[in-house]
Amino acid sequence: MRHVLDQGFRPFFLLAGLWGGLTVPLWLASHAGHIAIAPIYGDRNWHAHELLFGYAATAVAGFLLTAIPNWTGRLPVRGWPLAALVGIWVAGRAAMLSTAVIGLLAAAVVDLAFLATLIVIALREIIRGRNWRNLIVIAFVILLFIANALFHASVISGASADLALRLAIATLVMLIVLIGGRIVPSFTRNWLVKRGAKLPAVFGTVDRIAMAVSVPALIVWVVQPFGVPASILSGVASMALTVRLARWRGWATAQEPLLLVLHLGYLFVPLGFFAIAAAPWLGSPHGTVVHLWTVGAIGTMTLAVMTRASLGHTGRVLTASPVTTGLYAAMIGAALVRAVAPLTPFYTELLLLSATAWSAALIGFVFAFWRVLTGPRAVTA
């Protein structure tokens, strides 16, 4: 355990897996009336908030605290400063469960402190390292903080929190479009080079167009998710992102699940846009769109990055074990089942199946990677 504070990915990937895996069964138990969780928020709002700001934001924190030293050449945040940030995260989760005692305003302040502190740390490191290119990534984290603040303001004022939740989802989806567009073709290229295979297309006009059309499509979806403009823009974004993904030659990585899962996770982004585009004509439920992105894109991509970074940054071989491959299958299965559940007469049964698969993937990650994330770096021969 003494190594757990060596780098940011270690504690935050463990916390993301643990909390993400526990949040869903806790929500289901609350939804069924067996327990009461944050009744002031309502179990739906608490569930959505904790998966977006308690799970996904935690995975983002682990990624950022690990990537920034590579971007800047500076030493990583570790030791007591990292422990303090972990403590702020824990306080936020406790505050969200204690609103009946401390009140909504106090809970909001404590919860918001985590992303605020993370932003300050990230900005300090990037500015001192003069790594201006990656300020755009921090801009999205700031947008995620704004979405969280809007969520709390909405609940405190008695308004719907749906706008804030859509803003958070859109921010995380755009982070996947941006960061995924860097790492997926890069990792794929490195793997294919060793095998003498045809390489992914280099970054170019197609990538710029795909990213450019995704932004207005997401903005319109956040503001007016059910209108024809959102449908048209999302259709364009879906096609552009699908073409972009195809140019990365994901099918050539079928022998290595550690790579293939990145392509499959990214695929859920254009699938979500397609569901928005089809909604006015096919009547696809809004829950299908949301969960193609939250469980499919966000869940799969975060799990893929957490497993790969955990192996790579602790000196392990970059290949997926059968157990890790099973975790990927569980997460992708959870996404597909949750997306189709509203379209069938077996909604409750499929909801439980999806929730079980989601929790199995994340709790399974904690068990499978516990020694990797808490132990010393592997000694290479």
**pLDDT band at residue 37, thresholds of 50, 70 and 90?**
confident
Domains detected in the chain: 9-189+197-374 (1.20.210.10)
| Ranges 228-232, 255-259, 283-287: which has the least confidence | 283-287
**What was the pLDDT predicted at 381?**
42
Among 130, 142, 5, smallest CA distance to 68 is for 130
**What was the pLDDT predicted at 140?**
96
Q: What is the pTM of this model?
A: 0.95
**What was the pLDDT predicted at 380?**
56
* Mean pLDDT value of segment 296-301: 97
In tens, the pLDDT along 177-220 reads 999 999 999 999 999 999 888 899 999 999 999 999 999 999 99
In tens, the pLDDT along 331-375 reads 999 999 999 998 889 988 999 999 999 999 999 999 999 999 999
